Structure 1
Amino acid sequence: MPTSFWRSDDAIAHLNRLDRSGFAVEFLRRNPAYRRDYARTLRRIARGEEDPDDARSALARRWGLSFRS
């Protein structure tokens, strides 16, 4: 969803239907600092500067993310 629609009635209705993890995803997706960090992480992986698994794990630690196994 483009950022211009984040405050629309439809977007608000969508957010109200989310569970905790869905809301957390939406929060991060809209967070400029997270978006910059995520993009920087992807660039480092693409340039071969960092192992993909290590880079993703570091990103997850920085943002307090956990994933179900």
Structure 2
Amino acid sequence: MSRAYWRSLEAYEKLQTFDDPGFAFQYLSRNPDFAKGRERLQQMDRKGTLDSAELNAFARRWGLLFRQDD
């Protein structure tokens, strides 16, 4: 969304459809440091080098909770 339209109601209509976690993710995903860290974790996951300590450190830094695989 362009900053030029920050007062436009139409620019924010989609946000009304999000639940709390969805809204929080939309907000957090715009943080450049979060985006870099997330990309780094995704690259590690693709390479098979992602470990739980790395994931937990990221989650703690950003106040996130991840579901455990059962």
**TM (normalized to structure 2)?**
0.60
Pairwise CA distance, 1:42: 3.4
2:35 is matched with which residue? 35
Pairwise CA distance, 1:11: 4.6
The residue identity in structure 2 corresponding to 1:26 is: Q
1:12 is matched with which residue? 12
3-state SS of paired residue (1:67):
coil
User: Identity across aligned pairs (percent)?
Assistant: 38
Give the distance between the partners of 1:40 and 1:58, measured in 2 at CA.
13
Distance 1:13 1:42, change over 3 A: same
Structure possessing the higher relative contact order (Cα contacts under 8 Å, 6 or more residues apart): 1
Pairwise CA distance, 1:45: 5.1
Paired residue total: 65
Bigger radius of gyration, 1 or 2?
2
Unaligned 5+ runs, structure 2:
none
Task: Calculate the aligned-residue CA RMSD, in Å.
Answer: 2.9
Give the distance between the partners of 2:54 and 2:10, measured in 1 at CA.
35
The residue identity in structure 2 corresponding to 1:38 is: R
